[in-house]
Amino acid sequence: MQLTYRSIVILLAIVVAPFAAAWGPLVGNFELADYRGHTVALSDYADAKLIVVAFLGTECPLARLYAPRLVELANRYESRGVKFLAIDSNRQDSLTEILHAARTLGLTFPFLKDVGNQVADQFGAERTPEVFVLDAERRVRYRGRIDDQYDVGVQRAAPRNSDLARAIDELLSGSEVTNATTQVPGCLIGRVPLARELPKTDISPTWSGQIAAIFERRCQECHRPGEVAPFSLLTYVDVQGWEETIREVLEQRRMPPWGADPKFGDFINDNRLTEDERSQIIAWLDAGAPAGDPALTRPPAEFPQGWHIPKPDQIVFMSSRPFEIPAEGVVAYQWFYVDPGFREEKWLRATECRPGNPRVVHHITVYFKPPGRHWELKLGDRINLVGGYTPGQRPARGIEEPPCIFVPAGSQLVFEIHYTPVGMVEFDRSCIALTFADRAIVKEQLHYVLAANTEFAIPPGATEHVVESWYTLPEEGKLVFLNPHMHLRGKSFRYEASYPNGKTETLLNVPRYDFNWQSVYVLREPKRLPTGTKIHCVARFDNSAENPANPDPTATVRWGDQTWEEMMIGALAFATPVQALPFVPTHSAWIDAPIARYAVVGLAAAGAIVTLVVLRRRRRRYFQLDRARVA
C-alpha cells in the first residue's frame, strides 16, 4: 500500500496525540517578583526533577485551606528534587495582601505576583487553588486539584484521593500519571478584563446606579470585613477581580444562600435575589461591570458596630480563655459551661450570640441548665434553648412585644460551638448578650420543639430516600419559625400541616437543602395553629456517588451525631400566652429562641443550630440524661 504524505501526517498525529495530551504543553521560562520585590524565574530551578506551580489567591477559602497541605508536600518532597512555587494572578490581590497571606499561612516557598495574569494565561490556569506539575523538560504532566478533601461546601475528615502526591510519586518513579487532569474547585482567577466592544446603551446597569444598592440589600451583611464571607463587596474597588466568581454563584443560584420555595410561606429574613435583581447584575457583568457616574456613587453602608438587640444588660463569654482552633482537620463540637450569676429567675427579652472569630465559628448554640440537674437538652418535650448564631443570619426588626425566655435562678449557660479550620491556627472567645424583661410585661413565650425520626437506614447509592416525622400540637399556639436539619446527604425537606378540620397546607418547602447554611425560616406574620394540628415532615436523602458531599456512598447510613452520619429533624418554634403556662422551673420551663425587636433572626438562629440539638447524643441516649456531663 502506498502512503501519501498526507496519510503519513495523519498516522503520526494519531500515534503522537495520546502522548501529547498526556504530557501536556511545554512551559516557557517566566520571571515574576515576590512580595519583597525579588525576581524569581522558572529557569532558577534548572536542577529540579519536578516543579509544582500552585495558583493561589489571598482570600479564596479553598486556597487558604490547602496552603498548609502544599507546605507539607513541599517539605516531604524537597529532598527528592521537587520544588514548589506559588503564583497569585488575581488583579485584586496587592503585594501587601500577598505578604500577609504568605506569613500567616506559613508558606515556605516563593509566592509570586503575576501582574496582568500573563503566566496564568500561559498555563491556562482558571481557579485557585489549581496546581501544575512540570517534569525536567518543563512539560505539564499533571494539572488539577491538590486532593479531594475540600470542595465548595464540602470538608471531609481526610482526603480520599491524594491526586497531587500520587502524580509526584508516579513521575519520580518513572511512570505515567494515572490521572493527569482533575477538576478543580475554588475561586475563579480575577483576570484583567479583555478590551472588547461593550453595548452602547444609556440604560445599562452601573455600580453607582443600581448594583451597589442590590449588593447592600443582599450581599454586604456577610461580605464585609470581619464577617463570615471570604471577601468584601462594600465598594466598587472591592468588587474588582470577583466579577466572574459573582457570575458563577448567581448562575448556579448558590448565593445569596436561601433554600425556601417561594410558593410557600412569607419569611421576614428572606434574602433571595429577585429575578429583576439577578437580571440587573448579570447585565452589569455582561457590560463589563461599569462603575457609572462617580457623583452618584452611594457611600458604603454603615452596619451596626455594636449589638443588634436593645442595649444588653449582661454579656456572658463562653470561657475565661480563648479556645485554639487548629489549621486544618475536623474539630469536634466544643462545649463550655458558664455560671452567669443568676441568683434570681430571669426573663430574657432578647439575646444575641456573637462569634469572637467569625472566620472559624460556623455556629453557636447556647442552652441553660437548671440547678441541681444533670445536663439535658430537653425539659419535657421542649428544648432549653437561649440563643444562637449561624453564618449569614440577617438581623430583622419590627416586633414590639417579643416572646421571652424564662431561665430559672441558679442556671448555668451551656455553649455548644462548631469550629471550622481555615488553613491557619486561630483563636476564639465567643459570647452572648442578654437583655432582660420585666416579668409583669411578658405576654408570650416561644417553645422550641422537634419533629425527629431517629429510626432510619439510608441504603447505599440511594438518590431519593424518604424519611418522615410528625409532631402534634398539644395546645393552640402561634408558629413563629421553622428550621429543618439534616447532614451531608440531606437533599430536600418539606413541612406540612394537617388541621383538625381535615384541611392540609404546606408550611415550608426546601427543594435544595444545604448543610453549610443552617437557615431558619421566620414567618413575617406568626401563624396561629389550633390544638391537635399535626405537623408532617418529609426529608429526602441522596446517598449516591452523584452527591459531591457524600462521605461514603457505599455505606448504609443511620442516625448519628457526626456529620458523616445523618439526622432527620424538623424543628419548630411556637409562641403561647404566659398565663396558660404554669411554671415548674426544674421540670417544665418553656424554652425558646428570643425573637427580639432588633434580632428576630439572630435569635431564631438558635433554632438553626439547635437542630444540632442531639448532635452530641447517640441514638440510645436520645433525649436522655447525659450523666457524663455535669456542672
**One-letter identity of residue 220:** Q
Q: Does a structural domain hold residue 152?
A: yes
What distances in angstroms separate CA 533 from CA 468, 505, 576, 588, one per listed residue?
A: 16, 11, 15, 22
Given this model, what pLDDT does residue 603 score? 45
- Residue where a domain terminates, one of 296, 331, 360: 296
pLDDT for 5 beyond 60: no
The strand pairing partners of 188, in sequence order, are: 127
Listed residue (92, 105, 114, 91) closest to 35, CA to CA:
114
Cα–Cα distance, 343 to 436 (Å, whole number): 14
Identify whether residues 447 and 574 lie together within a single domain: yes
Element (H, E) at 381: none
Do 392 and 479 share a structural domain?
yes
Q: Which amino acid would we find at residue 501?
A: N
Taking alpha carbons only, the member of 442, 263, 426 closest to residue 348 is: 442
Contact 397, 598 (CB under 8 A): yes
39 shares its domain with 87: yes
Grouping H, G, I as helix, E, B as strand and the rest as coil, residue 607 is helix
Q: What pLDDT, on a 0 to 100 scale, did the predictor assign at position 367?
A: 92
**Which residues face 559 on adjacent strands?**
566
607 and 526 in a common domain: yes
273 shares a domain with 154: no
What are the Cα distances from residue 295, in Å, to 291, 298, 386? 11, 8, 47
**Is 55 in contact with 87 (CB distance < 8 Å)?**
yes
pLDDT at 392: 54
Average pLDDT, the chain: 82
C-alpha cell at 231: 471577601
Would you say how long the chain is, in residues?
631
In a domain, 197, yes or no: no
**Residue 564 maps to a domain:** yes
Q: What average pLDDT does range 407-412 have in this prediction?
A: 92
Same domain, 238 and 290: yes
Longest dimension (CA), the chain: 105
Q: So what's the pLDDT on residue 243?
A: 86
Verify that 168 and 292 share a domain, yes or no: no
Domain with residue 62: its CATH number is 3.40.30.10
Q: Is residue 590 part of a domain?
A: yes
Query: Which residues are bridge partners to 466 per DSSP?
Result: 540
Q: What is the domain extent for residue 116?
A: 5-188
Indicate the helix (H) or strand (E) that contains 155. Answer: strand 154-155
From 136, 153, 188, the end of a domain falls on 188
How far is it, in rounded angstroms, from Cα 15 to Cα 84?
A: 33
CATH number at residue 414: 2.60.120.230
Split at pLDDT 50, 70, 90, the class of 529 is very high
HSE, CB side, 13 Å, CA atoms: give it for residue 517: 21
How large is the average pLDDT for residues 509-517?
88
Cβ 165 vs Cβ 203: under 8 Å: no
- Indicate the number of domains in the chain: 3
Residue pair 472/533 in contact (Cβ under 8 Å)? The answer is yes
Residue 580: strand, helix, or coil: helix
| Residue 629: inside a domain | no
- Confirm whether 122 is domain-assigned: yes
Same structural domain for residues 283 and 354? no
pLDDT of 192 higher than 90 = no
Residue bearing the bigger pLDDT, 127 or 608 = 127
Name residue 564's beta-bridge partners.
Answer: none
Whether residue 164 is found in the same domain as residue 276:
no
* Residue ranges with strand state E in 257-409: 314-317, 323-325, 334-338, 346-354, 361-369, 378-379, 382-383, 385-389, 405-407
The winner for highest mean pLDDT among 190-194, 384-388, 600-604 is: 384-388
DSSP 269: T
> In whole angstroms, how large is the CA radius of gyration of the chain?
27
What's the pLDDT band for 580 if we cut at 50, 70, 90? low
Asked if 236 and 89 sit in the same domain, the reply is: no
Nearest residue to 433 via CA among 364, 370, 371, 374: 364
C-alpha span between 249 and 152 (Å, rounded): 11
The answer on pLDDT for 161 being more than 60 is yes
Q: Does 389 have pLDDT greater than 90?
A: no
Signed CA dihedral, 155, 82, 141, 123: sign only: positive
- Does one domain contain both 244 and 351? no
Asked if residue 303 belongs to a domain, the reply is no
Name the least confident of 193-207, 351-365, 413-427, 543-557.
Answer: 193-207
Task: Spell out the residues 6+ positions from residue 449 whose beta carbon is closer than 8 angstroms to its own.
Answer: 381, 382, 383, 471, 571, 572, 573, 574
Q: Which of 188, 223, 248 is the last residue of a domain?
A: 188
Residue 521 CA to residue 278 CA, distance in Å, equals 22
What local confidence, expressed as pLDDT, does residue 594 receive? 34
Task: Clarify whether residues 325 and 287 are in a common domain.
Answer: no
Phi, psi angle pair for 603, to nearest 5°: -85, -35
pLDDT average, residue stretch 331-343: 92
For residue 202, is it within any domain?
Answer: no
C-alpha cell at 261: 420555595
DSSP β-ladder status, 82-88 and 50-55: parallel
